[in-house]
Structure 1
Amino acid sequence: MSNDIIFSDATRLAELIRTKEVSPVEVVQAHLDRIDATNDRVNAVVTVVGSALKAAKAAEAAVMAGAPLGPLHGVPFTVKDSIDTAGVLTQRGSPIFRDRQPDTDATSVARMKQAGGILLAKTNLPEFSYWIESDNLLSGRSNNPWDLTRTPGGSSGGESAAIAAGMSPLGLGTDLAISVRGPAAQTGITSMKATHGSVPMTGIWPRAPRRFWHVGPMARSVRDIALAFSQLAGPDGQDAFAGTLRPGTRLAAPHGRPLRIGWMVGPGFGPVDPEVVAVVKAAAGALEAQGLVVEPVGIPALERDFALDVFNRLHVMEMKPAFAAAIAGRRPEEIYKMARTMLSLPDTPMDAYIDAEQAAERLRDGYADYFSRYDALITHVLPVPAHKHGVDQFTIDGQTVDATYLQGATVPLNITGLPGVALPFGMSGEGLPISVQIVGAWHAEGTILHIASLLEAVSPMAGRHPAL
């Protein structure tokens, strides 16, 4: 039963608990055992919550007493270590924040608990959530459970690795440019970056630039993402960006007509490996076979303004003050290389910054024009499958680019605030997951989750897990 538990999705576990087929104690213990058995190789979990079994016993008592149960009652979940957890270490991947223990939960964590979820553990990340690989001076490097010589991504790489390895059925990550979708793609799980502001960022650091940061669910199934989002979304009275939605809204898929979907791998995203292109085409074909209207498309705005360049000109200027304040008075050896690199970059000249702001508006307009004609867009998440540790330059389809180009297809959604789901839909020749990204119009989470569920039902990745 233990193996069945650790590779069941959260929705199934909640059903089994509700019907008394399995107890919350059994579920939590199975995941704790899995952490004990695998984390020394994967290094995804950085803190195990000592009170998790006690919470599981209380959850079991509630089931036996016939008490009202939340939709995630008794289900364990994990949280990226940049997200505050009351009474549990939140160290942000940095010796600067060693032993930091918040007094209150982040809004997203509180809402998962209100739904009945049991906080199980905190997961690894790059220092300050800033890089595409999860490595730092405090807790070290996380490994990909599909191939330990490769990265599970960043910045939510510990979270993606924990879920892929069976240490957790469900978790929370954050996303500035790639960080819930990229790691999900590298480890073969599912994740969603919702419309900007849908889920409050209260209790999460860093938040600058706030207009690009998101917090989102990571899981093993589309229905888990939908369930978690229904609990997470809505204003909290503290994050002003999260002021327009109510929890559980906009989850219904459109009815009455075939969905119209475009697919593209460029231009406008940078080079893409042919294996990845083939998976995107296969996903498009799978949707067409199910009766949707699918065709190749282009978005001229992405060709005019390269989103990664726009992002780089904007975010460095806005993040540097927060990083500089955090490290003030600290010794250089306490700061990991990526934070040092970012702080060493020159400030964007004001005319270039203003031009980047205008480019961001043009990108939003370009997507608005696209979504006036289409319901969704299918792209790749990453231009290559999970890569070896420490790689800072790639040759992709004959073109040599630096590692930031891995964000080419994901960062446009952070600049524009559009929602996107990452979903595994194929394997590379080396046996590594390859995912697609389903992009929707603003607040169209219901549409992209519906499309993701259609793809999930026919995905060649269904039921596949890394052999650890």
Structure 2
Amino acid sequence: MNSELVYQDATKLAELIRTKEVSPVEVVQAHLDRISAVNSKINAIVTVADDALKAAKVAEAAVLSGETLGPLHGVPFTAKDSIDTAGVLTQRGSPIFKGRRPHTDATSVARMKQAGGILLAKTNLPEFSYWIESDNLLTGATNNPWDLTRTSGGSSGGESAAIAAGMSPIGLGTDLAISVRGPAAQTGITSMKATHGRVPMTGIWPRAPRRFWHVGPMARSVRDIALAFSQLAGPDGLDAFASSTVPFDAGIGRQPYRQLRVGWMVGPGFGPVDPEVTATVRAAAEALKDIGVFVEPVGIPALERDFALDVFNKLHVMEMKPAFAEASAGRRQDELFKMAKTMLSLPDTSMKDYIEAEQAAERIRDGYADYFARYDALITHVLPIPAHKHGVEEFVIDGQKVDATYLQGATVPLNVAGLPGVSMRFGTSKEGLPINVQIVGKWQAESTILHVASLLEAVSPVRGIRPTL
């Protein structure tokens, strides 16, 4: 196994393949060998695509014959097991869907393949993509490559762990409230939840509540996120929410026409935050200031008036319960894992509370609109603490006791508002665990936040650090 090859980013792998320095077969085989070597410790990969090597040989022939190559030609990628993959198991983390093989690819998977990517494997998740830890009755729990006693997050925790451990260079996750950004933070990789509707959700389940769900790229570099997003974005004619035709230009490395204005905050409005995490956000802000970006501490009053996590809970429970109930109809309750059971047991939101929550969501959107009238980006934490031990349900954070849902305090506002956000590592805890920051932009401003992320990546004190396995 070529250990250096499996830790190259997707952009570099595509370049090496294009210039015939390595073959797609070598690259895919190296990642298969890595999966064989470490997945038994981590349990991130739940299904290996049977035809990955066959597809690599076809990709190799295309290189040798001088065919036009896509930007990800010959590069393996992985996908969360809630995302349909034609002919490859997509079991959604549940015995209810055991053995399920879709006939068609999700739009996001099809677009990665159209760019030349090779589906390598499917990755673990919580049942129905619903929780902040990737554990279920069908494929078990995923461990964090930095500390096997800790979670890699949820719901795209298998994807984050696979990429962090070198089993995959790039992949696809989904995000309802935290699920591509939180797992990235717990494993120290990079991810992006784009503006709602920029990437079609076609071929992904569940889709309710559709206005909160996103699919997004996960990788180890900002440029990989930009490359993947450039291939994923745009309407497909099937997902009505995915209607944006705003062009995407990564803008990475390009001088902006004026000085960027960036605010940073860790609250109030997000819940309690560990001092180590606060220090990392402040360090990221200072790093930007040191390279000439205008940066200052800010507040967003709308987030203080309406706590986004409470708003989200009142809205999404009412809309997700029917999807879970339909999926489990006629099934024994012991075929459901604990979070699906919990969801189905929750009382419905009253119509009065639901309407009030919808109005609160509009106030949160207005609050962000007001902020982005004056600033180009916002830096916050992703999670209030680094990766935690498996199964912990209560935390004391900065002296305040909270339940596990509070880990979504800084991520869920972006789902409520539909805003884009990048999660990227910028620090390390005293226990040696990754700490990420979140770069938030206004609607359709993925190019801006990716540019800011690239500036931070260039001066990051933790760039290139890998877990030891």
TM-score (norm 2): 0.99
Supply the AA of the counterpart residue of 1:61. Answer: A
Alignment of 1:391 onto 2:392: yes
Asked whether the 8 Å contact 1:250–1:443 carries over to 2, the reply is no
**What is the CA-CA distance between 1:183 and the residue it aligns to?**
0.1
Cα distance per residue 1:172-212 (max 9 Å; x no partner): 00000000000000000000000000000000000000000
Cα distance per residue 1:8-60 (max 9 Å; x no partner): 00000000000000000000000000000000000000000010000000100
Unaligned ranges ≥5, structure 2: none
**What is the CA-CA distance between 1:255 and the residue it aligns to?**
2.3
Q: Distance in 1 between matches of 2:103 and 2:216?
A: 22
Q: Distance in 2 between matches of 1:271 and 1:285?
A: 22
**What is the CA-CA distance between 1:254 and the residue it aligns to?**
7.4
Cα distance per residue 1:118-173 (max 9 Å; x no partner): 00000000000000000000000000000000000000000000000000000000
Equivalent position of 1:284 in the other structure? 285
Equivalent position of 1:49 in the other structure? 49
Cα distance per residue 1:401-452 (max 9 Å; x no partner): 0000000000000000000000000100000000000000000000000000
> SS where residue 128 of structure 1 aligns?
helix
Equivalent position of 1:304 in the other structure? 305
Equivalent position of 1:444 in the other structure? 445
Equivalent position of 1:430 in the other structure? 431
Alignment of 1:114 onto 2:142: no
> Pairwise mapping of residues 135-214 of structure 1 onto structure 2 (< 5 A)?
135-214=135-214
Alignment of 1:257 onto 2:286: no
Q: Distance in 2 between matches of 1:151 and 1:361?
A: 33
Q: Distance in 1 between matches of 2:310 and 2:244?
A: 30
Q: Distance in 2 between matches of 1:425 and 1:339?
A: 34
**What is the CA-CA distance between 1:332 and the residue it aligns to?**
1.1
> SS where residue 143 of structure 2 aligns?
coil
Alignment of 1:319 onto 2:320: yes
Supply the AA of the counterpart residue of 2:301. Answer: P
Q: Distance in 1 between matches of 2:224 and 2:175?
A: 18
Q: Distance in 2 between matches of 1:250 and 1:34?
A: 34
**What is the CA-CA distance between 1:217 and the residue it aligns to?**
0.0
Equivalent position of 2:29 in the other structure? 29
Equivalent position of 1:373 in the other structure? 374
Alignment of 1:237 onto 2:237: yes
> SS where residue 137 of structure 1 aligns?
coil
Equivalent position of 1:455 in the other structure? 456
Q: Distance in 1 between matches of 2:468 and 2:357?
A: 45
Q: Distance in 2 between matches of 1:393 and 1:191?
A: 26
Supply the AA of the counterpart residue of 1:282. Answer: A
Equivalent position of 2:11 in the other structure? 11
> Pairwise mapping of residues 266-285 of structure 1 onto structure 2 (< 5 A)?
266-285=267-286
Q: Distance in 2 between matches of 1:463 and 1:438?
A: 20
- Greater Cα shift, 252-261 or 298-307: 252-261
Q: Distance in 2 between matches of 1:255 and 1:217?
A: 25
Cα distance per residue 1:317-343 (max 9 Å; x no partner): 000000000000111110000000011
Identity, in percent, stands at 80
Equivalent position of 2:72 in the other structure? 72
Cα distance per residue 1:326-375 (max 9 Å; x no partner): 00011111000000001101111110000000000000000000000000
> SS where residue 276 of structure 2 aligns?
helix
Alignment of 1:361 onto 2:362: yes
RMSD: 0.8
Supply the AA of the counterpart residue of 1:314. Answer: L
Supply the AA of the counterpart residue of 1:381. Answer: V
Supply the AA of the counterpart residue of 2:436. Answer: S
Q: Distance in 1 between matches of 2:203 and 2:417?
A: 23
Equivalent position of 2:404 in the other structure? 403
Supply the AA of the counterpart residue of 2:119. Answer: L
Supply the AA of the counterpart residue of 1:105. Answer: D
Unaligned ranges ≥5, structure 1: none
**What is the CA-CA distance between 1:256 and the residue it aligns to?**
1.7
**What is the CA-CA distance between 1:281 and the residue it aligns to?**
0.3
Q: Distance in 1 between matches of 2:249 and 2:137?
A: 41
Asked whether the 8 Å contact 1:13–1:75 carries over to 2, the reply is yes
Asked whether the 8 Å contact 2:217–2:225 carries over to 1, the reply is yes
Q: Distance in 2 between matches of 1:347 and 1:290?
A: 50
Asked whether the 8 Å contact 1:425–1:434 carries over to 2, the reply is yes
> SS where residue 148 of structure 1 aligns?
strand
Equivalent position of 1:333 in the other structure? 334
Asked whether the 8 Å contact 1:42–1:161 carries over to 2, the reply is yes
Asked whether the 8 Å contact 1:93–1:137 carries over to 2, the reply is yes
Q: Distance in 1 between matches of 2:249 and 2:59?
A: 30
Q: Distance in 1 between matches of 2:347 and 2:244?
A: 36
Q: Distance in 1 between matches of 2:244 and 2:133?
A: 33
**What is the CA-CA distance between 1:377 and the residue it aligns to?**
0.1
Asked whether the 8 Å contact 1:250–1:444 carries over to 2, the reply is no
Asked whether the 8 Å contact 1:262–1:374 carries over to 2, the reply is yes
> SS where residue 150 of structure 1 aligns?
strand
Asked whether the 8 Å contact 1:31–1:166 carries over to 2, the reply is yes
> SS where residue 148 of structure 2 aligns?
coil
Asked whether the 8 Å contact 2:248–2:446 carries over to 1, the reply is no
Q: Distance in 2 between matches of 1:41 and 1:448?
A: 35
TM-score (norm 1): 0.99
**What is the CA-CA distance between 1:461 and the residue it aligns to?**
1.5
**What is the CA-CA distance between 1:458 and the residue it aligns to?**
1.0
Asked whether the 8 Å contact 1:254–1:447 carries over to 2, the reply is no
> SS where residue 77 of structure 2 aligns?
strand
> SS where residue 375 of structure 2 aligns?
coil
Asked whether the 8 Å contact 1:364–1:416 carries over to 2, the reply is yes
